[in-house]
Amino acid sequence: MQSLRYVGKNLFLEKISLKNFLKKNKSPFYIYSENQIIYNFIKFKNIFKKTDPLICFAAKSNSNVQILKVLSKLGAGVDVVSGGELLKALKAGIKPKKIVFSGVGKTEEELQVAINKNILLINCESESEALLVNNIGKRLKKHVSIGFRLNPNIDAKTHKKISTGKAENKFGLSIKSFKSFLKKINSLKNVRLNALSVHIGSQILSETPFKRTLGVMQKLIMELKLNLNFVDFGGGFGIDYSGKDKTLNLTNYSKLVEKFAKKINCKIIFEPGRSIIGNAGILISKVQFIKRGSKKSFIILDAGMNDFMRPALYDAFHKIIPISKTSSRMTGAIEFVGPICESTCKFGVYKKYQKLNENDYIAITNVGAYGSSLSSNYNTRPLIAEILINKNKYRYIRKKQNILKLINS
């Protein structure tokens, strides 16, 4: 399914012509296709149908409450990494028994809320965290269901800034430390080890690291004869940003997961983010000015790196496409940049591009994941609006932040 497409010369998202939409709605804004999200979720669910995992959407990829609600209606759970995300998940109607809490530095306050709400799992990432959870549990007179995140020391073969499963990364506990911690766990009366979890990185485009991780987990669980209710394999499933990337085929992996679940006799959890929401969103921006430099022309947009960080942070490629196509060309190379006073505030360079004029609009594609959720108020710029489309209907799911509130808060 492709909810973003040209009809004639004009770009449509679902059944809405963005050219017409822009007559009434002011840029820049994020706009998402609800049906693309639904399609992506169902596709993922179907691949793993035989295992019937609990799919906990990674809220960090996009934590808009209305988007969490769409997923909640499909039966999704949520993976949260902060007290704020936890409250958003609850507000979206996600049942506590479908919420898992990950992260290396959860605070006492955050843990207390999670424990009080009786969420499914707190995935601990250190011995100290498990001790803290136990103490809070004792104080609140609760038995807390925890998981332990392991660091399997596996190279996910992805961008180094989004790799999390190698020994040099801060995430999870090494297998050695986990084994020594196991000896103490029985003395912790207010926690119960219900799960093991792993998450080796993001935007992974090869099945091999996933398969290797599964192998490591199986060996460990068998060796230690662990009796677990859940094994949480995290997220990380890559998407095709360029239109030429090798796409990830999860069918073989799903067969291994099925065998694993039978052998270990546990429920599987996944925490996909990008693969559910990544291709469902675009960022619409206006060409503010065009400036001809000696080496290239700069297309200066009204969206900045504060609105969309991925190119500045990871040199990420996101195709930029016009809202209305024309056949005339611009001469020479062009660079799409934003207004922020940083050289990294740029979105892409093209050797050739169709003719653009000031006040034309473009769409930065595949920004549904880690777009809005990574945005900031840098340069005292208000957070931009978010809009959700379903067929020919749309609704604002976040208004543009009020500048006066921003200044006075």
Residues designated as active site: 341
- Regarding 307 and contact with ligand LLP (CB under 6 A), the answer is no
Output 34 or 79, the one with its CB closest to ligand LLP: 79
Q: How many helices (H) and strands (E) does the chain have?
A: 12, 21
Cβ at position 359, least distance to ligand LLP in Å: 30
- With a CB cutoff of 8 Å and minimum separation 6, the contacts of 35 are 1, 3, 14, 390, 391
- Regarding 202 and contact with ligand LLP (CB under 6 A), the answer is yes
Closest CA to 235 of 278, 282, 194, 192: 278
Closest CA to 356 of 309, 308, 291: 291
- Regarding 152 and contact with ligand LLP (CB under 6 A), the answer is no
**H or E segment and range at residue 403:** helix 403-408
- Regarding 234 and contact with ligand LLP (CB under 6 A), the answer is yes
- Using CB under 6 A as the binding criterion, the count of chain residues that bind ligand LLP stands at 23
Provide the token pair at 392.
């020919």
**H or E segment and range at residue 151:** strand 144-151
- Regarding 79 and contact with ligand LLP (CB under 6 A), the answer is yes
- Regarding 53 and contact with ligand LLP (CB under 6 A), the answer is no
Closest CA to 273 of 86, 51, 92, 60: 60
Which residues are 196's β-sheet partners? 148, 231
Cβ at position 204, least distance to ligand LLP in Å: 7
Provide the token pair at 268.
């599987």
Cβ at position 187, least distance to ligand LLP in Å: 27
- Regarding 366 and contact with ligand LLP (CB under 6 A), the answer is no
Query: Of these, 199, 286, 318, 381, which contacts ligand LLP (CB under 6 A)?
Result: 199
What is the DSSP annotation of 61-114?
Answer: G---HHHHHHHHHTT-EEEE-SHHHHHHHHHTT--GGGEEE--TT--HHHHHHH
- Regarding 274 and contact with ligand LLP (CB under 6 A), the answer is yes
Output 61 or 285, the one with its CB closest to ligand LLP: 61
Of residues 162-191, those binding ligand LLP (CB under 6 A): 162
- Regarding 271 and contact with ligand LLP (CB under 6 A), the answer is yes
Query: Of these, 16, 18, 37, 58, which contacts ligand LLP (CB under 6 A)?
Result: 58
- Regarding 318 and contact with ligand LLP (CB under 6 A), the answer is no
Question: Which region, judged by CB under 6 A, interacts with ligand LLP, from 10-18, 178-186, 271-279, 380-388?
Answer: 271-279
Distance between CA 184 and CA 409 in Å, rounded? 47
Provide the token pair at 80.
């949260």
- Regarding 260 and contact with ligand LLP (CB under 6 A), the answer is no
Question: Which region, judged by CB under 6 A, interacts with ligand LLP, from 62-70, 186-194, 323-331, 366-374?
Answer: 366-374
Distance between CA 356 and CA 346 in Å, rounded? 17
State the residues that interact with ligand LLP by CB under 6 A. 58, 60-61, 79, 102, 162, 199, 202-203, 234-237, 271-275, 310, 314, 369-370, 374
